[in-house]
A = this chain, B = another copy of it.
Amino acid sequence: MPSAAPLELHRERVQPDWIDYNGHLNEAYYLLIFSHATDAVMDAIGLDDAARRCTGRSLYTLETHISYLAEVAAGAEVRVTSRLLDLDEKRFHLFHAMYDCADDRLLAEAECMLLHVDMTGDASGARAAPFAPEVAARLQAIFAAHKTLPRPERAGRSVGIRRKAGPS
């Protein structure tokens, strides 16, 4: 039975060529780090590279929302925790949080909707497909543990300017 704590499967160091003109980690490379954390979750549920090659099954990202909470400097080492927020027979909703390894500051969060696809078959491209039973079982066990945790404050956010209400 997985623990109720978020998964913590990925850490890496910020590369110099990921830094932009503002002198900090470029917005796209926060997402590259989060995508590596998603890869680590795939490995943990039995959708690792060898399985993908063997079965022709993989995950596609349908949608992602990122909250940028702090600047990240070149050379920083970061770690990512990952929680399963929802699940059905072919999709799951993953919530990542990125921390600075040096001082544990929260740097960014990302939510992703991932779709299981079958990439074999005709030239029409990948088709949505239910998870294999052993993958579904691992996801359900993780979800059973993670759904006991409080919902992250920023889960489900959308982009928009929030204005204070005027005098009523």
Can you list, as one digit per residue, whether each of A94-138 has a CB less than 8 Å from chain B (1) or not (0)?
A: 000000000000000001110000010000011000000000000
Nearest CB of chain B from residue A70's CB, rounded to whole Å: 9
Range for the number of chain A residues in contact with chain B: 35 or more
Establish whether residues B66 and A63, one from each chain, have CB atoms under 8 Å apart when the complex forms.
Answer: yes
The residue on B at minimum CB distance from A112 is B159
Closest residue to A26 on the B side, CB-wise?
Answer: B35
Cβ-defined contact, B27 with A119, below 8 A:
no
Chain B's closest residue to A20 (CB) is B35
Closest to A109 in B: B63
Partner among B22, B58, B88, B112 whose Cβ is within 8 Å of the Cβ of A119? B22
Q: Which chain A residues in 42-74 approach chain B with CB under 8 Å? A: 49, 52, 58, 60-68, 71
Residues from chain B with Cβ under 8 Å of A125 in the complex:
71
Could you give 28 example pairs across A and B, Cβ below 8 Å? A21-B58, A22-B60, A22-B119, A27-B31, A27-B35, A28-B28, A28-B32, A61-B68, A62-B67, A63-B68, A63-B157, A64-B159, A65-B65, A65-B66, A65-B158, A65-B159, A71-B125, A71-B126, A86-B161, A91-B161, A93-B159, A93-B160, A93-B161, A112-B159, A113-B160, A113-B161, A156-B160, A158-B158
